[in-house]
Chains A and B, each alone.
Chain A
Amino acid sequence: MPQRLDTLKNSEQELRIFRVRALLAVLVVIVLTSLLTGRLAYLQITQHDLYSTRSEKNRVRVEPLPPNRGLIYDRNGALLAENRPTYNLTLVRERVDNLDDTLALLVELLELPEEDIDAFNVRSRQRQRPFQPALLMSDLSENQIARLAVNRHRLPGVEVEAQLLRYYPDAEVMAHALGYVGRINAEEMQTLDTGRYAGTHFIGKTGVERFYEDRLHGQAGLRKVETNARGRVLRELGRTDPVPGDNLTLTLDKSLQMLAYELMDGRRGSIVAIVPDTGEILAMVSTPGFDSNQFVTGIDVASYRALQENIDLPLFNRAIRGHYPPGSTIKPFLALAGLVEGAITPDSTIHDPGFYQLPNDSRRYRNWLRWGHGRVDMERSIAVSNNTYYYSLAHDLGIDKLHEQMSNFGFGQRVAHDVQGESTALMPSREWKRARFNQPWYPGETLSVGIGQGYWQVTPLQLASATAALANRGHWVKPRLALEIGDELVPRDLPDTLPDIQLDNEGWWARIFSGMEKVLTGHEGTARRTGVGLEYRMGGKSGTAQVFSLGQDQRYNAAELEERLRDHALFMAFAPLDNPQIAVSVIVENAGGGSTHAAHLARAMTDAWLLNDNAPDVEELKEVLNEDTTGVEGN
């Protein structure tokens, strides 16, 4: 480019200008370089610790290793609760870009009904420690796992996680006794030791699973892993192994439990069997049962509603929470109370005209046999289940002593050592009535209590444990479900047991037992049909409980109504008489036909336990029951 002629270039001046500017540029370079140096020194020296920590946090992830939950066995080593390998769907919120989209995509991929989005929403938004996976769904099918695998790139933060899931092989039979585990909910999350439960999604909700949660759960372990930016684990940096939960051996006998469940044959009710001298619960059945496995994986709304609204209340554990008037089953206990208090002797008699009258009262309290049993002593009063004898005895004792004596048998209290959710039921007293109704106690109410009616309510477990104490000749043993925890035997002497019941004359126990034996074998015995062909000596007592009213919000059709107004059949028994090995209580709701039904079931239980190979055939027994449940006299 030629220079223009009109301008005269001044080389000297241009060089001077350039040098000044170049010098300035040098200054600028120095200043800017110092700025960078300062910044780098700040980052790498001053803030080094902060960024070191941050870089470590980036790279090192601590993964929880959930412990294996302890297994549960019956007394013979049969597996009652096991852990089954399954695949769960989990989600780490912090790694998800758009939660709503992700959940919608999951519902679509897994072919779930739209409603499940809501459940997913709740579960995924549950409060968690940051970067802890939330459990969305358990027990994925192979098909679902495959679909998730194919779409993995669309689902950051979503993982399919192999985990052991609780499984109950005989869920319906064991549901009430064992309880079940379920997802840890928000409330439980608040109180849990998060370190111990890191990575655990389940917790015992009811029954043994809840009571022994502490032992069954174990201790979570940790794994420190190095991950890259995409969260892929590259190597393990350190590890603390989880401590598995203790295995639990229960006192339950699986075959006896299953027999009891079959014996109930779909009827509502409960059977509890206890070893008298150890308190070991052999069977504890509440029917109808339910499939507790549904609760482990998360029951769907429809199934849950069906269970909730079922009028047979399958979720209700009758064995420990069912309140039943004990009826005549408590007559042996009352007789014993009379002996202890000196109100009767085994040989003292009354005359029964068919009714009892309080002094200065015209009201007649009736025996169940209109024309009366005539002269009645203690043994006969038990065998024929005479009411008048017990009206008289109850009146003589008075409510205060009655309450005191019956409390010694565990009535009105939680009796068991390790049964979760047990009810106290109700042993009425003057104080109780004052507190509850602000009313005085009336003498007539004592008479009702004397025949196991009125306010008195027992649970099947209470009735069984009182029977066991009676069979032990007054030695009280706490019922319990755990035989061994881990490798330790549960000690036989448990704290807080009730005092033993002392009789002045040890021989009187035999007199009471004799009365109870006559219930089954005497020519007048109320359960003499049940006693036919007994191969060992057995004592028992029948009872019926009137159903007074129905719940107000329950609606039944006429046939159902009639069925549900029938009396409950009760029976308590123990055998053999001289060396008791089993005590049983049976309650069949609305059985009708007096107590026979319950008596047959009790015999079937003792037969099964004592005769082993000679155990009765359940089908035959059911036929007998159908014939016998009509026409036998009451109480």
Chain B
Amino acid sequence: MVPWQLLSRSFRRYPVRPPNSGIARRKSIWERIHLDPWLIGLLLVLMVAGLFVLYSASGQRIEAVIAQAVRFGVALVVMVVIAQFSPSTFLRWAPIAYAVGLAMLIAVEIAGDIGMGAKRWLEIPGVIRFQPSEMMKLAVPLMVAAYLNRCQLPPRLRDIAVCGIIIGLPVVLTAIQPDLGTSLLVASAAVIVVLLAGLSWKLIGFVGALMAAGLPVLWMNMHNYQRQRVLTFLDPESDPLGAGWNIIQSTTAIGSGGLWGKGWLDGTQSQLEFLPERHTDFIIAVLGEEFGLVGMLMLLALYVMIVGRGLWLATSSQDTFGRLVAGSIILTFFIYVFVNVGMVSGILPVVGVPLPLVSYGGTSSVTLLAGFGILMSIHAHRRLLPR
């Protein structure tokens, strides 16, 4: 018996049930509105902190802060509304959402708007501008979880192959937009579902080995400019005015912050615009410069607490679908944080991943909070069954 199996026994007592099973406990107000007070509280603290950083990062434009706050408000409403649906609704709608999302991705490929050099947007003129790949961040893991919910777990090879197709189609369609960052996030959200479902270690090891072996082949087949990007990531100083500029400036901003930081609104790298994309993808460098290591660790702690609470909720879920979806949502959230902070601090290559609920931007906030809505729905709709 491997150690984690020993450890896992301690989870047996969960989910916690009221002492007098069989008698319906009086529901708290939070349970009645299907929300989790801990998670909401942590998210609100994060959002408020994010608005403070945004004020500094936007060059002290209050309009940006207001616009972001409005988006947060909309996203919170979406979260609350979604939390009211029962998980079975998501289970039923998952294939439809997936199919619609896939259709829209194909539509984007055929008739999409080009923005920032890539086809990402679908527009019904005058009504809505929409990024289908954003929706797929939730639709794909939901679909995979829904499929695996039907299977006996751990999944057999055939089920995994089906999952591979479910994941592969939207990921490839997103990647050729091209939006490699989003496609990787969609893929990882879905793969996490498969991993949580119990993908066999042999298979994980095999795929890992295959990828490691594939790296040199990939390198041989890369274009020169792509290789250059990889090299620049490994040594940003080699191209200080080009691709290396962002990383040099962001590490300089973070490093010069020191332990306590230069003070709010006093970061020279940020305020004098040396830091690129300071209010979007690189916003954490502003925090690092103005609030120092202390501020950075406080923010990381906040994120870790949210992830911890989310995992707790996922584990306390009563059915497989709920567990897989909740686990995937919360771990994907963590991947956002890790990739963004890793990128800005120079240990990961630059891919366009915003810092959740801190970076300026509407779509990702809505998607994220919609995800938390699903998470809370799964938690709050537990049936209080006797053992």
Point out residues on A near B: beta carbons under 8 Å.
Answer: 1, 3-4, 7-11, 13-26, 29, 32-33, 35-37, 39-41, 43-45, 47-48, 50-52, 54-56, 58-59, 226-230, 234
Contacts and interface: CB of A to CB of B under 8 A. Distances in A.
A33 B304 contact: yes
Contacts of A37: 297, 300
Contacts of A54: 252, 255-256
A228 B273 contact: yes
A52 B8 contact: no
A55 B296 CA distance: 19
A519 to B, nearest CB: 78
B297 A23 contact: no
A88 to B, nearest CB: 26
Contacts of A50: 255
Among A18, A23, A45, the one with the most B-chain Cβ atoms within 10 Å of its Cβ is A18
Given A14-B198, A40-B254, A43-B254, 12 more contacts: A16-B5, A18-B324, A20-B4, A21-B196, A21-B327, A23-B4, A26-B311, A44-B255, A45-B259, A54-B256, A55-B256, A55-B269
A586 B66 CA distance: 87
Contacts of A39: 342, 345-347
A228 B256 contact: no
A36 B345 contact: yes
Nearest to B7: A23
B282 to A, nearest CB: 13
Contact of A22 (B5, B269, B327, B341): B327
Contacts of A24: 4
Contacts of B17: none
A48 B258 contact: yes
A4 B272 CA distance: 62
Contact of B304 (A15, A29, A48): A29
B152 interface: yes
Given A14-B320, A18-B320, A43 B251 contact: yes
B55 interface: no
A19 B311 CA distance: 10
B52 interface: no
Given A40-B293, A41-B293, A19 B11 contact: yes
B56 to A, nearest CB: 15
Contacts of B355: none
Contact of B152 (A10, A16, A33, A226): A10
Closest 8 CB pairs of A and B: A51-B255, A55-B256, A17-B198, A43-B255, A44-B293, A228-B272, A7-B152, A229-B273
Nearest to B324: A18
Contacts, number: 167
B139 interface: no
A51 B252 contact: yes
A36 B342 contact: yes
Residue of B8, B197, B268 contacting most chain A CB atoms (<10 Å): B8
Nearest to A95: B241
A226 B272 contact: yes
B256 A48 contact: yes
B338 interface: yes
Binding site of B, secondary structure by majority: helix, strand, loop or mixed? helix
Nearest to A3: B150
B375 interface: no
Contacts of A58: 249, 252, 268-269, 272, 274
A18 B293 contact: no
B292 interface: yes
Given A1-B95, A29-B334, A58-B252, A44 B288 contact: yes
Given A17-B197, A36-B300, A52-B258, A1 B331 contact: no
A17 B153 contact: yes
A44 B259 contact: yes
B195 interface: yes
B154 interface: yes
A601 B138 CA distance: 103
A32 to B, nearest CB: 5
Contacts of A36: 300, 338, 341-342, 345, 347
A55 B268 contact: yes
Contacts of A41: 293
A35 to B, nearest CB: 7
Contacts of B249: 58
B167 interface: no
A1 B91 contact: yes
Nearest to B296: A40
B312 to A, nearest CB: 9
A52 B196 contact: no
A227 B288 CA distance: 21
Contacts of B129: none
Contacts of A56: 256, 268
Nearest to A2: B150
A29 B312 CA distance: 14
A45 to B, nearest CB: 6
B156 to A, nearest CB: 10
B51 interface: no
A59 B272 contact: yes
B149 interface: yes
B320 A4 contact: no
Contacts of B296: 40, 44
B149 A22 contact: no
B135 interface: no
A21 B254 contact: no
A25 B254 contact: no
B170 interface: no
B315 interface: yes
Contacts of B311: 22, 25-26
Given A36-B338, A39-B347, A227 B4 contact: no
Contacts of A229: 272-274
Contact of B151 (A7, A11, A33, A52): A7
Interface in B260-278: 268-269, 272-274
B253 interface: yes
Nearest to A44: B293
B315 A18 contact: yes
A1 B92 contact: yes
B297 A51 contact: no
B266 to A, nearest CB: 12
B141 to A, nearest CB: 14
Nearest to B293: A44
Contacts of B4: 20, 23-24
Contacts of A15: 323
Interface in B78-98: 91-92, 94-95
B140 interface: no
A36 B256 CA distance: 17
B251 A51 contact: yes
Contact of A55 (B7, B150, B252, B327): B252
B76 interface: no
B99 to A, nearest CB: 14
B314 interface: yes
